[in-house]
């Protein structure tokens, strides 16, 4: 089976990964770094905000079950795309909102979704999500992979990730994995 790939950034990857891992058709979500200029960045380097990289997730999905547009709907619901270089208390360019497109179709879909989100006023302020051609995606260190499922009672996960997971489960109940 050939899977499609989407690369999204919307704050801490500990929060985005569990949002997308619960969706039917999503086979794998990898937390990592992309969009910067430092080769093989580490978490410690990315946290300085000097690498140009964003914390991001690489989503491997079966497009016969869930489409790129549906992933974008979830993305624009799960995080606040109107705060520049910030999600909640997490600040810096590494927490920016971004869609790293892999082909012209993804670019067009991302641009159209932003227009829709603004036209339908999903958020009270303008969307600042960047739409950028994908570059090298560097997987994060092993301990970051599926962090939320391994540490559901960690205070940050309880306060920040869990509400996002719950919001998406409620709004997109038809997209949630049933296994």
- What are residue 26's DSSP bridge partners? 61
Which residue do the tokens 């012209």 mark? Answer: 104
- What are residue 35's DSSP bridge partners? none
Exposed, middle or buried by CB within 10 Å (0-12, 13-18, 19+), for 174? exposed
> Which of 12, 15, 47, 157 does the annotation list as catalytic?
12
E-strand stretches of 19-173? 26-34, 54-61, 86-87, 90-91, 97-101, 130-133, 138-139
12 is catalytic: yes
Among 54, 55, 53, 6, residue whose Cα is nearest residue 28: 6
Phi and psi (nearest 5°) for 7? -125, 120
What amino acid positions are annotated as catalytic residues? 12
């Amino acid at each position: 089976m050939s899977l499609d790939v989407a690369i999204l950034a919307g704050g801490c990857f500990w929060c985005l990964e569990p949002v997308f891992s619960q969706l039917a058709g999503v086979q794998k979500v990898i937390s990592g770094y992309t969009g910067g200029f430092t080769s093989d960045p580490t978490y410690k380097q990315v946290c300085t905000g000097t690498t140009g990289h964003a914390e991001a997730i690489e989503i491997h999905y079966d497009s016969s079950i869930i489409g790129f547009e549906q992933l974008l709907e979830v993305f624009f619901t799960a995080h606040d795309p109107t705060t520049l270089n910030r999600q909640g208390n997490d600040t810096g360019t590494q927490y920016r909102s971004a869609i790293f497109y892999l082909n012209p179709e993804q670019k067009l879909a991302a641009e159209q979704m932003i227009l829709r989100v603004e036209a339908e006023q999903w958020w009270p302020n303008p969307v600042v999500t960047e739409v950028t051609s994908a570059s090298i995606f560097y997987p994060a260190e092993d301990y970051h992979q599926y962090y939320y499922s391994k540490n559901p009672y960690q205070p940050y996960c309880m306060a920040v990730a869990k509400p996002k997971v719950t919001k998406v489960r409620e709004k997109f109940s038809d997209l949630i994995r049933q296994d």
